[in-house]
Amino acid sequence: MAELGRIVTEIVEELRPAVERGRVADYIPPLARVDPQKFGIAVIDASGAAHLAGDAEEAFSIQSLSKVFGLTLALNLEGSEIWRRVRQEPSGSAFNSIVQLESEQGIPRNPFINAGAIVIADILVSRWGRYAARQALLDLVSPLVGTPGGLGIDEDMAMQERETGFRNAALANYMRTFGNLHNPVDDTLDLYFHQCALTMSCRQLAEIGGFLMNGGTDPRSGRVVTSVSNARTIMALMMMCGHYDGSGAFAIRVGLPGKSGVGGGILAIAPGLASIAVWSPGLNAQGNSLLGTLALERLVQKTGWSVFNAFPLSVQKPG
Ligand SMILES: NC(=O)CC[C@H](N)C(=O)O
């Protein structure tokens, strides 16, 4: 769609001057130093063409977006076995909430809240150990990227999150008391903090998301990243849980499976049509990118890409 280039440029021009940009996360020190004026969008369409605007090629900290890739690896390794240790339901709670864990015996509601992602990290550590698991994540995403530079793990970010990650340490220790963490807490958290410290640009994130747009197979290389059914599972969870207690509003406003990160990134997938990444560091009350969400809402208004809109009326008209 040649128009896409114009659409993404329009969105950045409209939203870039916005005054109300939300608040940049400050509980992980290096995140607090990111310029709140940054704003990028990248759309990779089904033909592989990239439509970029704003700071689309600048690397940022993907944080909870990494939960999508951890889940992909865990599903590849253990399939439906993982659902013994983490559920598939929306939480309706904040990303780092601990309240449900007590009444639900240490089984997190879903793999996209912190507790669930820590269990997923634990599964990967059991399989590979903490260092090789980190490498396995890099080996999953690196070949999917078509553009060089920026992709890597920000060691300083990981260290500083470890220094300040008391809440995640509490979640991990608490789950361990229920037997739902099999490795030493430090090993599992080490992987979790390093995966959250992955950096990449909107363009690279959208390139990686291509496998979800394309039923589990990387559209550039034809390599199967995960099964069709795993890709569906991941996207269903993104729709229901990808924005924590803001997931319902995101589904209504945007209508695409999406996953946010506290660094201000969002990955959204229009199945069969596009992989979309946006980045604006200011967050709304639920910890999701404020302008990023608005940008996706505009994009969907301009393209009609909501999954709840998948059958254009023209297709249904006789003749
Ligand atoms: N929502 C997020 O991106 C949270 C990730 C962050 N590393 C944390 O654990 O707090």
User: ipTM of the assembly?
Assistant: 0.97
Question: Residue 48 in contact with residue 201, Cβ under 8 Å?
Answer: no
**Contact partners, residue 154, CB within 8 Å, separation at least 6:** 30, 61, 197, 198, 199
Ligand 1 mutation pick, 114, 162, 166, 288, max ligand atoms within 8 A of CB = 114
Percent of the chain residues past pLDDT 70, beyond the cut = 96
pLDDT at 169 over 80: yes
- Mean pLDDT (whole number) for 166-175: 98
Q: How much is the pLDDT for 148?
A: 85
Q: How much is the pLDDT for 149?
A: 87
Ligand 1: atom nearest CA of 63 is: 3
Residue 244 among the catalytic residues = yes
Active-site residue, selected from the candidate residues 61, 64, 66, 201: 64
Q: How much is the pLDDT for 319?
A: 44
| Residue 300 pLDDT level (bands cut at 50, 70, 90) | very high
Distance CA 2, CA 187 (A): 48
Q: How many helices (H) and strands (E) does the chain have?
A: 15, 10
Of 211, 269, 208, 266, the closest CA to residue 235 belongs to 269
314 belongs to a structural domain: no
Q: Is 121 exposed, middle or buried (0-12, 13-18, 19+ CB in 10 A)?
A: buried
Residue 64 among the catalytic residues = yes
Phi then psi dihedrals of residue 11, to 5 deg: -60, -45
Ligand 1 mutation pick, 23, 24, 27, 28, max ligand atoms within 8 A of CB = 28
pLDDT at 272 over 70: yes
CA of 28 to the centre of ligand 1 (A): 9
pLDDT digits (tens, 9 = 90+) for 57-77: 999 999 999 999 999 999 999
**Contact partners, residue 147, CB within 8 Å, separation at least 6:** 57, 201, 203, 204, 207
Phi then psi dihedrals of residue 193, to 5 deg: -65, -35
pLDDT at 159 over 70: yes
State if residue 196 touches ligand 1 by the CB under 6 angstroms criterion.
yes
Ligand 1: atom nearest CA of 261 is: 3
Distance CA 138, CA 171 (A): 25
Q: 134-141 long-range contacts, Cβ below 8 Å, gap at least 24?
A: 134/191, 134/194, 134/195, 136/73, 137/66, 137/69, 137/70, 137/73, 137/195, 137/198, 140/69, 140/72, 140/73, 140/225, 141/69, 141/198, 141/200, 141/208
| Encoded tokens for 8 | 């993404």
| Residue 40 pLDDT level (bands cut at 50, 70, 90) | very high
Q: What is the DSSP letter of 246?
A: G
Count of C-beta atoms within a 10 Å radius of residue 209: 24
Concatenated DSSP letters for 51-95?
EEEESTTS-EE-GGGHHHHHHHHHHHHHGGGGGGTS--S---S-T
pLDDT digits (tens, 9 = 90+) for 182-236: 999 999 999 999 999 999 999 999 999 999 999 999 999 999 999 999 999 999 9
Q: Is 255 exposed, middle or buried (0-12, 13-18, 19+ CB in 10 A)?
A: buried
Q: How much is the pLDDT for 25?
A: 96
- Mean pLDDT (whole number) for 257-269: 98
**Contact partners, residue 5, CB within 8 Å, separation at least 6:** 51
pLDDT digits (tens, 9 = 90+) for 281-293: 999 999 999 999 9
Of 201, 205, 206, the closest CA to residue 274 belongs to 206
Distance CA 42, CA 205 (A): 8
pLDDT at 312 over 70: no
pLDDT at 314 over 60: no
Question: Residue 120 in contact with residue 108, Cβ under 8 Å?
Answer: no
| Residue 2 pLDDT level (bands cut at 50, 70, 90) | low
CA of 262 to the centre of ligand 1 (A): 6
Please state the domain count of the chain. 1
Q: How much is the pLDDT for 150?
A: 83
We report the CATH number of the domain holding residue 221 as 3.40.710.10
State if residue 61 touches ligand 1 by the CB under 6 angstroms criterion.
no
311 belongs to a structural domain: no
State if residue 261 touches ligand 1 by the CB under 6 angstroms criterion.
yes
166 belongs to a structural domain: yes
Q: Mean pLDDT for the chain?
A: 95
Question: Residue 110 in contact with residue 88, Cβ under 8 Å?
Answer: yes
312 belongs to a structural domain: no
Q: For ligand 1, atom 6, which residue shows the shortest CA distance?
A: 63
What is the extent of the structural domain holding 71? Answer: 3-306
- Mean pLDDT (whole number) for 125-142: 98
pLDDT at 145 over 70: yes
CA of 67 to the centre of ligand 1 (A): 10
Residue 67 among the catalytic residues = yes
Q: How much is the pLDDT for 75?
A: 98
Ligand 1: atom nearest CA of 244 is: 1
Q: In which residue are the tokens 């449900």 written?
A: 100
